[in-house]
């Protein structure tokens, strides 16, 4: 660990980091066993529940800890050093409350009751936005899951995929299509006998997230369970604020990379080389890899925490940082994968042994490339925007009289030119 952690700005940050490190140390001992079995780590989540981790992002006024975006990233990075899978599974729950606390689009009484359920009963939730046929529904696809209105409420029927923490969820936010209205809406669905977990998660990495499918067999929910309508092109409950709370995903993979760095330092320092007359840590080729690891870690932290602090400090730009959020997620997850590869290169053949955690880190860190937003889609979107800006009509810009440099007339003009929604005032 670095002697001077400059990501910790004050005593509040230090307290969050200390809690996460304590929890990470407690779950680290069984992380490999849960990875091997693919079972959901209920004992990890019992610990997290007892220590108040479920309520970290719930406002203080409602009984939670009221962490900021920045502090969420601090917590997730450190928890993931104990178990990446546990941190990621918890992260979706924390992320949901981050968005809802930032800009609530639900009826207030529903949100307050959900917060009480978490604080008082330890409920775990997730946002189920993916279907095997439709993909990620936040991209605008129509759900195959349907909601049919009746006199008693809505009947929910369908199947969601990649539902992290599926065996442990108490309540689920789902997207369902209302055929008679030709509209997609968000519904809050509690666990019941008609909510069935289909245990089909058998992945290369993040095995202990238990991200199984969940089937809804005509689940009846009350009319007030319809929380918010999804309108393509408009900021929704979980896309608001430039999707900044999704940066917790990047923090998880940064934590895995940091764990790989810490392991390989101890491993290399403890391996004797007769030709060197000391540990392999001093070998030039090892030093070169370690230097690159430190460079990538430092750059990732500067990018991730720098963006989070900018997002928090300047409220006027929070809704205009979507590209920066996507770029940061992509860069940090790519760097994390490279860091683990470098650590494995130092360990050599030992890296492949299940006696050591590097092979698990390697498998887990690959999943960051596929968590939303996926890296290839981010790159394609950035290229499309650059192309559109280049081909935009000359009328979309004016010339600054003193410099002769073309500058945009306004954020609204830029939004129209790029074909995106006009920036929303927080």
Average pLDDT over residues 374-383: 93
Would you list the DSSP string of 215-244? EEEEEEE-GGGEEEEE-TTS--TTT-GGGG
CATH 1.10.540.10 maps onto the chain at 11-124
Task: Give the model confidence (pLDDT) of 40-50 as tens digits.
Answer: 999 999 999 99
Structural element, H or E, at residue 298 = helix 284-313
| CATH superfamily, with its number, for domain 241-390 | Butyryl-CoA Dehydrogenase, subunit A, domain 3 (1.20.140.10)
Determine the CATH number of domain 11-124. 1.10.540.10
CA–CA distance, 418 with 146 (Å, rounded to integer): 32
| 396 band by pLDDT with thresholds 50, 70 and 90 | low
CA–CA distance, 425 with 421 (Å, rounded to integer): 12
Q: What pLDDT does 3 receive?
A: 62
Q: What pLDDT does 275 receive?
A: 79
Query: CA 131, 133, 134: angle at the middle one, nearest 5?
Result: 65
| CATH superfamily, with its number, for domain 126-230 | Butyryl-CoA Dehydrogenase, subunit A, domain 2 (2.40.110.10)
SS3 20: helix
Helix, strand, coil % over all residues of the chain, rounded to 5: 55, 15, 30
Task: Give the model confidence (pLDDT) of 53-100 as tens digits.
Answer: 999 999 999 999 999 999 999 999 999 999 999 999 999 999 999 999
Task: Give the model confidence (pLDDT) of 147-180 as tens digits.
Answer: 999 999 999 999 999 999 999 999 999 999 999 9
**Between β-strands 125-128 and 171-178, what pairing exists: parallel, antiparallel or unpaired?**
parallel
Average pLDDT over residues 384-388: 95
CATH 1.20.140.10 maps onto the chain at 241-390
State the distance between the two ends of the chain, measured CA to CA, in whole angstroms.
38
Using left for φ > 0, alpha for ψ between -120 and 50, and beta otherwise, residue 279 falls in: beta
Q: What pLDDT does 141 receive?
A: 81
- Among residues 401, 379, 391, the alpha carbon closest in space to that of 323 is found at 379
Q: What pLDDT does 137 receive?
A: 74
CA distances from 290 to 77, 181, 359 (A): 20, 58, 18
Over pLDDT 90: what percentage of the chain?
85
Average pLDDT over residues 369-391: 93
Task: Give the model confidence (pLDDT) of 172-229 as tens digits.
Answer: 999 999 999 999 999 999 999 999 999 999 999 999 999 999 999 999 999 999 999 9
Q: Mean pLDDT over all residues of the chain? A: 91
Task: Give the model confidence (pLDDT) of 242-251 as tens digits.
Answer: 999 999 999 9
CA–CA distance, 23 with 46 (Å, rounded to integer): 11
CA distances from 287 to 93, 292, 383 (A): 39, 9, 36
pTM: 0.91
């Amino acid at each position: 660990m670095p002697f001077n952690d400059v990501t910790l700005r004050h005593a509040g940050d230090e307290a969050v980091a200390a809690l996460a490190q304590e929890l990470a140390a407690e779950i680290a001992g069984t992380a490999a066993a849960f990875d091997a079995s693919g079972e959901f780590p209920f004992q990890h989540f019992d610990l997290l529940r007892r220590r108040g981790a479920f309520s970290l992002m719930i406002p203080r006024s409602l009984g939670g800890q009221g962490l900021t975006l920045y502090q969420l990233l601090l917590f997730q990075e450190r928890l993931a050093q104990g178990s990446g899978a546990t941190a990621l599974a918890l992260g979706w729950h924390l992320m949901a409350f981050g968005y809802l606390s930032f800009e609530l689009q639900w009826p207030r009484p529903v949100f307050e009751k959900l917060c009480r359920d978490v604080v008082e009963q330890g409920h775990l939730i997730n946002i189920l936005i993916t279907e095997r046929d439709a993909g990620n529904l936040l991209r605008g696809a129509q759900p195959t899951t349907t909601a049919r209105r009746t006199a008693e409420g809505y009947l929910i029927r369908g199947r969601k995929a990649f539902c992290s923490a599926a065996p442990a969820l108490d309540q689920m936010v789902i997207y369902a299509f209302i055929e008679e209205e030709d509209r997609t809406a968000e519904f809050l669905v509690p666990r019941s006998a008609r909510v069935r977990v289909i245990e089909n998660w058998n992945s290369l990495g993040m095995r202990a997230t238990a991200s199984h499918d969940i089937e809804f067999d005509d689940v009846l929910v009350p009319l007030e369970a319809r929380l918010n309508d999804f309108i393509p092109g408009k900021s929704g409950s979980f896309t608001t604020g430039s999707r900044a709370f999704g940066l917790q995903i990047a923090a998880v993979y940064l934590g895995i990379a940091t764990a790989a760095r810490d392991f390989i330092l101890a491993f290399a320092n403890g391996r004797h080389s007769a030709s060197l007359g000391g540990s392999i840590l001093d070998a030039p080729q090892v030093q070169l890899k370690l230097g690159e690891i430190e460079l990538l870690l430092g750059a990732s932290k500067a990018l991730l925490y720098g963006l989070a602090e900018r997002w928090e400090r300047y409220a006027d730009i929070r809704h205009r940082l979507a590209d920066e959020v996507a770029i940061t997620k992509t860069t940090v997850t790519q760097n994390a994968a490279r860091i683990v590869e470098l650590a494995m290169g130092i360990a050599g053949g030992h890296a492949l042994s299940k006696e050591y955690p590097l092979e698990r880190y390697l498998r887990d860190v690959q999943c960051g490339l596929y968590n939303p937003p996926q890296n290839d889609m981010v790159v394609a979107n950035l290229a499309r925007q650059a192309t559109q800006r280049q081909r935009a009509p000359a009328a979309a810009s004016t010339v600054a009289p003193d410099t002769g440099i073309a500058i945009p007339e306004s954020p609204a003009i830029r939004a129209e030119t790029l074909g995106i929604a006009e920036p929303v005032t927080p």
